[in-house]
Structure 1
Amino acid sequence: MAASAQLVIGIDGGASNTVAVLADARTGATLGRGEGGPSNIQATGVESALRELNAAVVEAFKAAGRHREPVAAAALGLAGVDRAEGLEVIRGWADLVQLADKITIANDATLLFAAGTPEGWGLAVIAGTGSIAFTLDARGNDARAGGWGYLMGDEGSAFRIGLLGLRAACRAADNIGERTTLLPTYLKALGSDDPREFIPAVYRGKWDKAAIAALAPLVLTAATSGDATATAIFEQEARELALTAAGAVAAGGLSRENVPVALAGGLIRESEMFRNRFLHELRGCGVSPGPVGLVDDPVVGGVVLARRLLVQ
């Protein structure tokens, strides 16, 4: 076999970072792993997204100790490519850099089905900085709900929970509503004893979207300790994420019984409490989850999909 025919690449690109894995086409074994910054073309712009995609591929080859060359197949799961123009932009880049002989490009959730469900179909839910739910049936038909971004949606995401906690802290600072430990907790995180310092932190960029999302564990910890305000936020957002997931199931026409579920994103993977509450609320929405897979590394699904291209 030519060198390129021995290799495949899986790429997972989202709002936080981009990961590329160079793997052996025969075995799927990882040969090199590279990382770049965000590659969601809707959030960061085309130029920046393509630069980070390229950087991740370059680093994967470097980590494998190989010169960059076209590979046999590549599977890209990228946030922000649901519209036709997004797909064309990425395909144009892949052709320009001669990424692979065979290529598939889809939303990053497609990687979750390959990596987190027994037969490659079911319900995939991402709850990290943002949130979205997808379904894929056994015939390859897909549907989605959520994914509207932090201004219009992202219910059940780390950003949403962190933001609602911040709002609650501000109201508490004004002596409005219930007292909550979120006020002193957020002030400690900021390194200040003045609630008015929240204003420059947020509006001048110290607490950007990622930083606010990173505050979500503080809300969950406060809920665990019995804080009523934090508990209400936690329960509300788990419910909202379940509603989003149930909406995707309805849109995709999947059976509501014994649905395989793949879960990804730092919030839902790392917080067992939030994950269990979400699954409880999902049942309350009339969707009975079957096997539940936690996807620690979605890019593994990219390697699986790339290898499948070689036998099609």
Structure 2
Amino acid sequence: MTYYIGIDGGGTKTIFCLLNEEGTVLTAYKDGSASYKQIGMDGVVALLEKGIFQLLKEADVSQNENIWTCFGMPTYGESRANDELMESLIKRRLEKYHIKLVNDCEVAWAGSLLLEPGINLVAGTGTIGFGKNIQGDFLSAGGWSEYFSDEGSGRWLGVKCLELFSKQADERLKKGPLYEIVKEYFSLTEDKEIIDLFEKDYQPYRSKIAFLQKLLLEAAKQGDQSAIQAYDDAAKELAMIIRTLYIRLQFHEKCPVSFSGGIFKTGELVVTPLKKYLSDLNITIVESQGSPWVGAGLLAKYYADKKEPCSAFIRKVIETNFDIL
């Protein structure tokens, strides 16, 4: 019997799922970071080995079965040398599982649009867009280094929060609710105490910087105009990602676009201006239909069979798209 394993790797958590030939999700498993920048390449291989073993053990499936795997890996595609080294390490230890490596934005697209042509935009701690057209051509946009890119992301908005605080503090901008929100959150006696606090406790940690976006959100809800403008600026950056993919992939028919990630939980602060900046394109905004780990499972079958899975298989996967987070 043939089985398929989908792995949605992330910088914080990694989701594993095991599917049978009919598309039934037999079991799922959650573990920590799959980023080699955080846990090293050997750590990633150990994580995969542990996760796959756990799935097979829970489902009582022999390791000698025909097993095909797709691993959506963060940072895959950023360095050819690192990609080749990662692939060789995985092949050496886990060759029998036929592991196909793709960027994690591809599994997000596959789950969101169920392998159908279109564009998926992820805007969480970081940002990246992935699109595939009817001819099978695919591209990503955004998702560069957090140090000079990731525009429109939680981290980008977290930095923007402190930028606006500093401007309000010395009155380059008119003081608004953001000033008091930040000052209270950090228990500042003097405004410039924020410099030392940020550099020691936040600067090394991407997710902690992204958390500061919540302070910006609270200020925007209280009517802070500079905070509201920051979300409009984020929407403009996110629209640029979608526009680039739309043009470069030459979508002529109406193109479905799905969104995922915490930035879209800000509601109309981002979504309304984003729609405005995309209003001249022939797109339809659609709900995400499945999780990234579902997408990884679908891609495992796709790469195993060299063709898209049948609709019955996809329906079966979606029926068991339970919440395991």
Give the TM interval when normalised to the shorter protein: 0.7 to 0.9
With over 3 angstroms needed to count, the CA separation of the structure-2 counterparts of 1:118 and 1:24, relative to structure 1, is closer
Counterparts of 2:273 and 2:47 in 1: how far apart (Å)? 33
Partner residue of 1:114 out of 105, 110, 116: 110
What is residue 129 of structure 1 aligned with on the other side? 125
Q: Does 1:168 align with 2:168?
A: no
Displacement of 1:160: 0.7
Pair 1:307 & 2:301 matched: yes
Over the matched positions of the two proteins, sequence identity in percent amounts to 23
Classify 1:37/1:232 alpha carbon distance in 2 versus 1 (closer, same or farther; 3 Å). Answer: same
Taking a change above 3 Å as real, the CA distance of residues 99 and 166 of structure 1, as seen in their structure-2 partners, is farther
Q: Does 1:272 align with 2:267?
A: yes
Distance of 2:256 and 2:138 partners within structure 1: 14
1:72 aligns with 2:48: no
- CA 1:287/1:79 → structure 2, altered by over 3 Å: closer, same or farther? farther
Cα pair distance change 1:149/1:53, threshold 3 Å: farther
* Alignment correspondent of 1:212: 209
Structure 1 residues 245 and 193 mapped into 2: Cα distance closer, same or farther (>3 Å)?
Answer: farther
The equivalent of 2:221 in structure 1 is 224
Q: Which residue of 1 aligns with 2:315?
A: none
Distance 1:193 1:24 in 2: 60
Q: How many residues align?
A: 303
- 1:149 pairs with 2:145: yes
Point out the more displaced range, 259-268 or 43-52.
Answer: 43-52
Could you tell me the TM-score, scaled by structure 1's length?
Answer: 0.85
Which residue is equivalent to 1:10? 6
- 1:298 is aligned with what amino acid? P
**Residue segments in structure 2 that go unaligned for 5+ positions in a row:** 307-325
1:138 is matched by which residue type in structure 2?
A: I
Separation of aligned partners in 2, 1:52 and 1:205: 28
Q: Which moved more, 1:297-306 or 1:107-116?
A: 107-116
Match of 2:94, SS? coil
Q: Which residue of 96, 112, 125 corresponds with 2:92? A: 96
In structure 2, give the amino acid aligned to 1:241.
Answer: L
Distance 1:144 1:81 in 2: 12
Q: Does the aligned pair in 1 maintain the 2:126–2:154 contact within 8 Å? A: yes
The equivalent position to 1:253 in structure 2, one of 239, 250, 255, is 250
In the alignment, the residues of structure 1 paired with residue 4 and residue 180 of structure 2 have an alpha-carbon distance, to the nearest angstrom, of 50
Kindly report structure 1 stretches of 4+ aligned residues shifted beyond 6 Å: none
Gaps of 5+ in 1: none
CA distance in 2, matches of 1:211, 1:295: 29
Distance 1:231-1:15 versus aligned 2 partners, 3 A rule: same
Query: Given the two structures, how large is their TM-score scaled by the length of structure 2?
Result: 0.82
Q: What is the rounded CA distance, in whole Å, between the counterparts of 1:86 and 1:150 in structure 2?
A: 18
Change in Cα spacing, 1:216 to 1:55, as seen in structure 2 (3 Å) is farther
Q: CA RMSD in A?
A: 2.7
